[in-house]
Amino acid sequence: MRHAAQLQATIELLDEIAETKYPADRIMAGYFKQRRYIGSKDKAAISENLYTILRSRLSFEYILNSKDLGVHSRVLVALLLKMDEGDLYNTFDGDKYSPKRLRPGQLERFAELDLSVIESAPLHVKLNVPAWIAPKLEAALGGRYEIEMRATNKRAFTDIRVNTLKSSTAAVEHALESVGYTTKATELSPWGRRFDKRVSLFGLKAFKDGWFEIQDEGSQLLALLSDVQAGQKVVDFCAGAGGKTLAMAAMMENKGSIYSCDVHTKRLEQLSKRCKRAGVHNVRTHVLSSENDKWVKQHAKIADTVLIDAPCTGTGTWRRSPDSRWNLEQENLDNLVALQQSILQSAKRLVKPGGRLLYATCSLLREENEDQIATFLNNNPEFTRHSFALPQTLIDNAERVKCSSAELRTFPALTGTDGFYVASLRRIDADAERS
C-alpha cells in the first residue's frame, strides 16, 4: 500500500468519525473489516496517522487557522504530511488511491505555513485540552497538570496480564519470544508484561489458549487492590467486558463466586466468551436494567467485596481513546457525577457487615473521584475508609503512585499507565465492634 493510499484511508476515517460521532476504534475496526486486503503494517500506519491527528486536534486547528486553511479532514492530513516533511504536491495528486489535489492557493499557503506558530497558542491548545475542562484538570493535577496532559498526547503502551490459572509470566515471556516479540515486566503489577512497540496479539496461540489478556497495567492494579481471596463472594458491579472480573477470578483460584453485572448485554456476552478461553468457571453474569435493578435488593449484604468501576469521563484514558476528549461537555460530566452517586448508593446494599466497597474510575477529575467519596461518606455513616493491603510492587514504587492509606491514583506520565483512581471503604460491622 502506497503512502498516499494510507493517507487517503486516514482522510476517509476522519470523515466517518466526524459524520457519525462513533468511537474511533469502532469506526476503524469496521473500516478494516470491509477492506481485508489492507495488511497489518498498513493498518498500523493508518491507525497511527489517525490517532496522531485526533490527539493533536486543537494544535492542528490552531496551526491551520493561522493561514486560513480550514480544518476539514484533507487539510488535517496534509498538515500531518508537512510535519513529516513529505511532498504535498506529489502525494495529494488525485490518483485513484491518493488524496485529491489541494484547492488553488492551498499549496502556496501550506508552503508559507510556520509550524512554530503553535508556541504562541494558549496553553490548553498546546496541550490539546478542551477549554471548558482545562481548569478542572489543572485543579485536580496541580503541578503535574502540564506534564500529565502532554503524556495523554502520546501513544499508550500495550500491556498484557498473565492468566495465572493457565500459565506463568516465564511461560508467556518464552511463548512471545518464540514468535519474535520482546516484552519487559511491568513495575507495578506482578502479572504484567509490556511491549515497547505496537503489536498484533489476537492471532497468537498463547492468546487463543487463554494464557494472557490484553489489559492496561493500571486496570490490573484495580483488581490487585481488591485483595479478594479464594472462597469469597465478590460483585463486579460495572463489569463491562470483564477484564477485572477475570483478574479477580485468577486471584481467587476459581474458588468462591464472582457476580459480574452490567447494563450492557453484549459486554457480558463478551465476558462469557473470555471466561471460557481463560478457564474461569466461578463467574455468574447478570444484566441489570439499571443501577437500581431489583437483583441488588435481592442480594443485599451477600458480598465480601463489591468493586464499582464506575462510568466516567475517561479523562485518564485519553492516550488510547483520543477522540473521546472532543465528545465531552459539561452536561456529560454533570450527568456522570449524578449516575456515579446513584450507583454508589445502590451497590452499597450488596456489601455485608465488615465487607469492602471499592470505588474506581479512569478519570483524573476530583468531581468524579475524591469529591464523590467525600459525599458518599458524609451521607452513609455506616461506611468508613479502609486501608489498602498494598502489594510489594506498590510499596517498592511508592514515589510513583499517589497513595494515601485508602485512596490511590495512577497517572499516564508518572506511572506509564492510564489514569485511575480507586478508594477503599468498609461497611462497619456494629455487632463485631460491640463484641
Tens of pLDDT, residue by residue over 218-267, are: 999 999 999 999 999 999 999 999 999 999 999 999 999 999 999 999 99
Of 85, 2, 96, give the one whose Cα is nearest residue 46: 2
Question: How far is the C-alpha of 95 from the C-alpha of 101, rounded, in Å?
Answer: 9
pLDDT(35) > 60: yes
Q: For 132-184, what is each residue's pLDDT tens digit?
A: 999 999 999 999 999 999 999 999 999 999 999 999 999 999 999 999 999 99
State the pLDDT at residue 433: 63
Confidence of residue 396 (pLDDT cuts 50, 70, 90): confident
State the pLDDT at residue 40: 85
State the pLDDT at residue 135: 98
Residues β-bridged to residue 235? 259, 306
For 398, other C-beta atoms within 10 Å of its C-beta total: 10
Question: How far is the C-alpha of 38 from the C-alpha of 113, rounded, in Å?
Answer: 33
Q: Say what percent of the chain tops pLDDT 90.
A: 87
pLDDT(435) > 60: no
Of 382, 391, 332, 388, give the one whose Cα is nearest residue 360: 388
For the domain 123-435, what is the CATH code? 3.40.50.150
pLDDT(422) > 70: yes
User: Residue ranges per domain, the chain?
Assistant: 3-121, 123-435
Question: How far is the C-alpha of 188 from the C-alpha of 100, rounded, in Å?
Answer: 48
Confidence of residue 391 (pLDDT cuts 50, 70, 90): confident
Place of cell 463466586: 257
Confidence of residue 434 (pLDDT cuts 50, 70, 90): low
> H or E segment at 54?
helix 40-55
Q: For 174-212, what is each residue's pLDDT tens digit?
A: 999 999 999 999 999 999 999 988 888 999 999 999 999
Longest dimension (CA), the chain: 85
Q: Are 337 and 311 in contact (CB under 8 A)?
A: no
* Over residues 273-290, mean pLDDT: 96
Confidence of residue 432 (pLDDT cuts 50, 70, 90): low
Nearest-5° Cα angle at 424, 418 to 426 = 160
Pairing of strands 257-262, 233-236: parallel
> H or E segment at 193?
strand 192-195
pTM, to two decimals: 0.93
State the pLDDT at residue 235: 98
State the pLDDT at residue 21: 87
State the pLDDT at residue 74: 95
Compare 293 and 396 and report the one with higher pLDDT: 293
pLDDT(37) > 70: yes
Q: For 91-128, what is each residue's pLDDT tens digit?
A: 999 888 899 998 888 999 999 999 999 999 999 999 99
* Over residues 23-29, mean pLDDT: 93
Q: What mean pLDDT value characterizes the chain?
A: 94
* Structure-block grid coordinates of residue 9: 484511508
